[in-house]
Chain A
Amino acid sequence: MFAYILKRLIYAIPIALSVTVVSFILVYLAPGDPLSAIAPADAPEEVIIALRSAYGLDQPVPVQYGLWLMRAVQGDLGLSIATGREVTSEVMRAVGNTLLLAGFAALIGVIAGCLFGALAGYRHGSWIDRIATALSVIGVSIPHYWLGLVLTILFSIWRPWFPAMGAGPGGSSEWLWDLEHFRYLVLPAVTLSVIPMGIITRTVRALVADMLGQEFVSALRARGLSGVAVFRHVAKNTAPTVLAVAGLQIGYLMGGSILVETVFAWPGTGFLLNTAIFQRDIPLLQGTILVLCMFFVVLNLLVDILQPMIDPRMGRA
């Protein structure tokens, strides 16, 4: 098991490195000069050149990459061009908020998805199944921002139960664990949970229906196990796949929340990315993309390590 984890960790290194290259290069492929965002349009030539060398933009790209990577490894992602603040702390604060939102949305999505999926799988072909299937299709195909707006109209304007802007009272972006802050989390989290809920419902439904048709489930019943005990077996057999799908979904939530965070002005990575793009804030953009990609790598790593712990047939081969 230890050797397996080590192997996975080593495999993750080249992936992580390519991620850094891609996130560095991508930004250079994008059109537009970052200096135009900070320098006044009529700035004299010398000022532009001075700024260019101050930000290291006059070096060859591989050198820029090397310097950037060395600092990034030490946790220094440079200064934001637009605000002059440290990118690392900006990104980390946003990551915290996004994790909170994504985690809460994933919690809703996974719990509801497993529940609906298991019900639909057990009652394969019944009206419960049809409703759950319809809901999951709607969940997957509905546009996020549209749902966000509808929920805002319904539960923030028409029935002002939940606030729809920001992460706390007075536009503060510092999260606190209290009811007041929690109310800010509800609408964006519910909006964001709809896609993972749909996908997990479908996955669990298919898995459970397939599992119930398998010989070993008949055999479990033939042993006189109660319905609850049989369900425990079914759950443990479906868990590795559900875990893998849920892990990927959480990954998507981490990066896929740009629209939702923008609609609800939620101070997370999506919001930050949006700001960075519009302001052509290259260090901030690079830093945010890098951190997001690293999350994917780590999540995949975790799923790879957790799966064989649940399913003994994997990993020993």
Chain B
Amino acid sequence: MTTPLLTVRDLSVQFHGNRVASALNQVSFELGQDEVLGLLGESGSGKSVTLRTLLRLHPARSTRIQGEIRVGGQDVLALKGRALDLYRGGTVSMVFQEPGLAFDPVYTIGRQITEAIRAHESIDARSAAARALQMLEMVQIPQARRRFDAYPHELSGGMRQRAMIALALACKPKLLLADEPTTALDATVQIQILLLLRELQRETGMSVIFVTHDIGAAVEVADRIAVMYAGRIVEQQPVDRIVHTPRHPYTEGLLAATVGPEHRGQPLRAIPGSPPDLAALPPGCSFAPRCAYVSEQCRRDRPPLLAADDQALACWHPVRGLVEAA
């Protein structure tokens, strides 16, 4: 990996409400130019929080953010005012999980894309609209000209998600954050959207962070997978290796709990227990209460995230050691 496009170092996010919830705990990872990172983890593990922090979308007053985020050399956490607005949607943009909720319901699709383009470039309304229409054609929306003047509620879910992607890519971002872009769609449409995203990524050479709890989808589009648990990254490996040689017990559990052709004939096993309360995390490894390989050390000391080449692991008793996996 040459100089990474995105560097996240020791990123911690706490929400201060009635209780203090530590949604992210010292998350570190890097992402290269043209690379697709799959972010995997069960519900509540902090995937969306990670993406929202990258765009600084959390309410400033109730959120404490520590650590460092750099995108193309820019210190993201120090951005303010106009620079922050230009960064959002210009350098990094986002595709939301529920396209039905992510559009303003009272403006047409075309107007919203046009508006986003004009927020980033000094360009006249007509050329911006022309480009917005081009974007709709690029994401293969049938009858794009008609959809341009449609309101969000007039489109189907799949069509809306295509429009969302068109909007996200309209200002040629270097990094696209896709937060479970297919979860709200039905199965056939899911595959179409995944293929579209992969195709657009290859065409534009942008980097992508793809959040999902569907391992199949992650394998389809990602180069590398990072597994999150209770606000921490617990394991990272290139995609082709992680499915065959998971090293963290949690990853192994996730894979065992997945339905897929490669698991045909094997029993489907759910991970016992539930994720910990983020306001009262255990002192040691967060996964310890649910782990089959747990020891005294796991309950007492937090395992550090150790990185080697293209992989990383935070576990005292990995299913496979670094050497064995390499």
Residues of A within 8 A of B105 (CB): 216, 237, 311-313
Residues from 152 to 193 in B contacting A, C-beta threshold 8 Å: 153, 167, 171
A131 at the interface (CB under 8 A from B): no
Roughly how many angstroms separate A226 CA and B82 CA in the complex, as a whole number? 8
Between-chain CB contacts (< 8 Å), 20 pairs: A215-B96, A215-B98, A215-B101, A216-B101, A216-B105, A218-B57, A218-B102, A222-B55, A222-B57, A223-B89, A224-B86, A224-B87, A224-B120, A225-B115, A229-B119, A233-B107, A237-B104, A311-B106, A312-B151, A313-B153
Of B55, B87, B116, the residue contacting A225 (CB under 8 A) is B116
Roughly how many angstroms separate A233 CA and B116 CA in the complex, as a whole number? 13
In the bound complex, do residue B104 and residue A223 qualify as a contact, i.e. CB atoms below 8 Å apart?
A: no
In the bound complex, do residue B167 and residue A223 qualify as a contact, i.e. CB atoms below 8 Å apart?
A: yes
Roughly how many angstroms separate A225 CA and B103 CA in the complex, as a whole number? 13
A82 at the interface (CB under 8 A from B): no
In the bound complex, do residue B55 and residue A226 qualify as a contact, i.e. CB atoms below 8 Å apart?
A: no
Closest partner residue, chain A, to B96 (CB atom):
A219
* Known contacts A229-B119, A312-B151; A224 and B89 CB within 8 A of each other: yes
B218 at the interface (CB under 8 A from A): no
Q: What interface size band does chain B fall in?
A: 20 to 34
* Known contacts A229-B115, A229-B119, A312-B151; A221 and B88 CB within 8 A of each other: yes
Q: What interface size band does chain A fall in?
A: 20 to 34
B93 at the interface (CB under 8 A from A): yes
Residues of B within 8 A of A151 (CB): none
In the bound complex, do residue A224 and residue B98 qualify as a contact, i.e. CB atoms below 8 Å apart?
A: no
Roughly how many angstroms separate A265 CA and B110 CA in the complex, as a whole number? 55
Roughly how many angstroms separate A310 CA and B151 CA in the complex, as a whole number? 13
Residues of A within 8 A of B104 (CB): 216, 220, 233, 236-237
Of A216, A224, A311, the residue contacting B88 (CB under 8 A) is A224
Interface residues of A (CB under 8 A from B): 214-216, 218-226, 229, 233, 236-237, 310-313
Residues from 97 to 138 in B contacting A, C-beta threshold 8 Å: 98, 101-107, 115-116, 119-120
In the bound complex, do residue B119 and residue A224 qualify as a contact, i.e. CB atoms below 8 Å apart?
A: yes
Residues of A within 8 A of B107 (CB): 233, 236
Q: Determine how close the nearest CB of chain A comes to the CB of B245; give it in whole angstroms.
A: 36
Q: Determine how close the nearest CB of chain A comes to the CB of B251; give it in whole angstroms.
A: 30
Ranked 7 nearest A-B pairs via Cβ: A224-B89, A224-B88, A219-B102, A215-B101, A223-B89, A223-B116, A224-B85
* Known contacts A219-B96, A312-B151, A313-B151; A224 and B106 CB within 8 A of each other: no
Interchain Cβ contacts within 8 Å, total number? 77
B263 at the interface (CB under 8 A from A): no
Residues of B within 8 A of A237 (CB): 104-106
B90 at the interface (CB under 8 A from A): yes
Closest partner residue, chain B, to A226 (CB atom):
B85
Residues of A within 8 A of B120 (CB): 224
Residues of A within 8 A of B94 (CB): 219, 222
In the bound complex, do residue B119 and residue A225 qualify as a contact, i.e. CB atoms below 8 Å apart?
A: yes
Roughly how many angstroms separate A215 CA and B93 CA in the complex, as a whole number? 15
Produce 1/0 per residue, B59-95, CB < 8 A to A.
Answer: 0000000000000000000000010011111100110
Residues of A within 8 A of B88 (CB): 221-224
Residues of A within 8 A of B89 (CB): 222-225
In the bound complex, do residue A222 and residue B93 qualify as a contact, i.e. CB atoms below 8 Å apart?
A: yes
* Known contacts A215-B98, A223-B167, A224-B171; A236 and B106 CB within 8 A of each other: yes
Closest partner residue, chain A, to B85 (CB atom):
A224
Roughly how many angstroms separate A29 CA and B171 CA in the complex, as a whole number? 71
Roughly how many angstroms separate A222 CA and B93 CA in the complex, as a whole number? 7
Closest partner residue, chain A, to B92 (CB atom):
A222
In the bound complex, do residue B116 and residue A224 qualify as a contact, i.e. CB atoms below 8 Å apart?
A: yes
B52 at the interface (CB under 8 A from A): yes
In the bound complex, do residue B93 and residue A216 qualify as a contact, i.e. CB atoms below 8 Å apart?
A: no
Q: Determine how close the nearest CB of chain B comes to the CB of A124; give it in whole angstroms.
A: 10
Residues of B within 8 A of A216 (CB): 101-105
Closest partner residue, chain B, to A123 (CB atom):
B61
Roughly how many angstroms separate A222 CA and B53 CA in the complex, as a whole number? 11
Residues of A within 8 A of B98 (CB): 215
Residues of B within 8 A of A310 (CB): 106
